[in-house]
Chain A
Amino acid sequence: DTAVSQTPKYLVTQMGNDKSIKCEQNLGHDTMYWYKQDSKKFLKIMFSYNNKELIINETVPNRFSPKSPDKAHLNLHINSLELGDSAVYFCASSQANAGTSYNEQFFGPGTRLTVL
Chain B
Amino acid sequence: LAKTTQPISMDSYEGQEVNITCSHNNIATNDYITWYQQFPSQGPRFIIQGYKTKVTNEVASLFIPADRKSSTLSLPRVSLSDTAVYYCLVGDPYNQGGKLIFGQGTELSVKP
A interface residues (Cβ-Cβ under 8 A, vs B): 4, 31, 33, 41-45, 48, 50, 55-56, 90, 92, 94, 96, 101-110
Asked if residues A41 and B49 are in contact (CB atoms below 8 Å), the reply is no
Count residues of chain B with CB under 8 A from any CB of chain A. 25
Cross-chain pairs A/B with CB under 8 angstroms, 22 sampled: A4-B43, A31-B97, A33-B98, A41-B104, A43-B44, A43-B102, A45-B99, A45-B101, A48-B99, A50-B97, A50-B98, A56-B98, A92-B43, A94-B98, A96-B94, A96-B98, A102-B96, A102-B97, A104-B93, A105-B44, A107-B42, A110-B41
CA gap between A110 and B44 in the complex, in Å: 10
Q: How many A-B residue pairs have CB under 8 A?
A: 72
The CA-CA distance from A54 to B46 in the complex, in Å, is 23
